[in-house]
Amino acid sequence: MDGFRPWLAALQLILAAIVRAGGDPNAGVERVLAAEVGARPLKTLETLEQRVLGDMRKDYPRAYDILLKPRNLAWAAILDSEMRKAASDFEAIGAVHLIGPHGVPHLLRAKGYSVTQINK
């Protein structure tokens, strides 16, 4: 990993740890939800490697500020734009992007949206 940028090396190490713990990198949320969304177009906001960062805010605040926070801000802007259209979309977001003051729900609430957690 000597040639990798630090953030890419960190992602590779995290992915390796997930695989070592029994996780399947091919069992991402997109595959699980494919049956739920049916024939509707499926858009992804990022790849599995980009979603497996975990909650860094506390343990790795600099990495959080570089890798997670700006992405959530960008996603909130994208979702805001999408929700202003007449069409109905289904969006799936990894759990790490849903928590904290920079989580997508909080950012959408700040834009005036009503965000409700649904426990199934």
Model pLDDT for residues 39-55, shown as the tens digit of each residue: 777 676 765 445 745 55
Determine, yes or no, domain membership for 23. Answer: yes
Q: Is residue 1, in this structure, part of any structural domain at all?
A: no
Share of the chain above pLDDT 90, in %: 16
Instruction: Report helix, strand and coil shares of the chain as percent, to nearest 5.
Output: 50, 0, 50
User: Which structural domain, as residue segments, surrounds residue 38?
Assistant: 6-110
What is the number of domains present in the chain? 1
Question: Domain for residue 35, yes or no?
Answer: yes
Q: Is residue 100 part of a domain?
A: yes
Least confident of 52-56, 66-70, 88-92, 108-112: 52-56
Residue 115 lies in a domain: no
Say if 116 falls within a structural domain.
Answer: no
49 against 13, higher pLDDT? 13
The pLDDT of residue 106 is above 80: yes
Could you tell me which of 7, 4, 81, 14 has the C-alpha nearest to residue 48?
14
Report, as an integer, the average pLDDT of 60-72: 81
Mean residue pLDDT of the chain comes to: 77
